[in-house]
Structure 1
């Protein structure tokens, strides 16, 4: 295992755990996390995206052991979070009843992407082994 920034490992564990908790967060504050009315199970799209995020969260937690070895996964989290936040932000302005997302999942995704990007910039590059 290469020398790694311990803050990056902590961030991956914390944010990975939050991704794994998407479903309960929806139950607590639906206007900040869900794009439909009714129970979470009432929308197939939400259930699909929920389990994609749970899976991603599990892999983020696993990546915390050696972030340098999982840099492509971490950069995927960063860029996909920014893309997701941009689309959701746009849709929040287009649909007034979805404005709660501008104080819920949109800033959460931007914060996650920003923190991980800053910490990844500080992460030492993994050098290939010389044969």
Structure 2
């Protein structure tokens, strides 16, 4: 029960953080349209993460997508920072995305078909 509560708190915090990218989405719309478009995906994902707070087990694939896409984004952005393709300050975002990815993977709800031996027939 405690794990589910922590997961709900993490989902809410990440959802709010992602929705907060709406501000830079509008700020960068003319200067960097591609960045603005990426933020639109995070804003949308944030809305769905907030909806998942009510029943995380029913949204396992959304949680997994958020975790693994955050890690993939962190790896790619970190590589770009170390190759001087983007500013080194982007490493702060890399760290945040790694924390999000690891936290969601660690707290992800168990697969219902493998969560309890009592549910298996045999």
TM range (shorter): 0.7 to 0.9
Q: Distance in 2 between matches of 1:71 and 1:57?
A: 15
Match of 1:52 in 2: 41
2:106 alignment partner, SS class: helix
Gap regions ≥5 residues in structure 1: 28-38
Residues 97 and 77 from structure 1, CA distance in 2 versus in 1: closer, same or farther, beyond 3 angstroms? closer
Q: TM-score when scaled to structure 1?
A: 0.76
Q: 2:20 matched to which residue of 1? A: 21
| 1:112 aligned onto 2:100 | yes
Partner of 1:85: 74
Q: Which has the higher contact order (CA 8 A, sep 6+)?
A: 1
State how far apart, in whole Å, the 1-side matches of 2:5 and 2:80 are: 36
Cα RMSD over matched residues?
Answer: 2.1
Which secondary structure does the structure 1 equivalent of 2:87 belong to? helix
Match of 1:126 in 2: 112
Q: CA-to-partner distance for each residue in 1:43-93, whole Å, 9 max, x for gaps?
A: 110110011000000000101110110000100001100000000000001
Q: How many pairs were matched up? A: 110
The 3 A distance-change label for structure 1 pair 106 and 68 is same
User: What stretches of structure 2 of length at least 5 have no aligned partner?
Assistant: 114-122
Aligned equivalent of 2:5? 6
Give the alignment's TM-score, normalised by structure 2: 0.81
State whether residues 40 and 46 of structure 1, in contact with CA within 8 Å, keep that contact through their aligned partners in structure 2: yes
Retained in 1: the 8 A contact 2:80–2:86? Answer: no
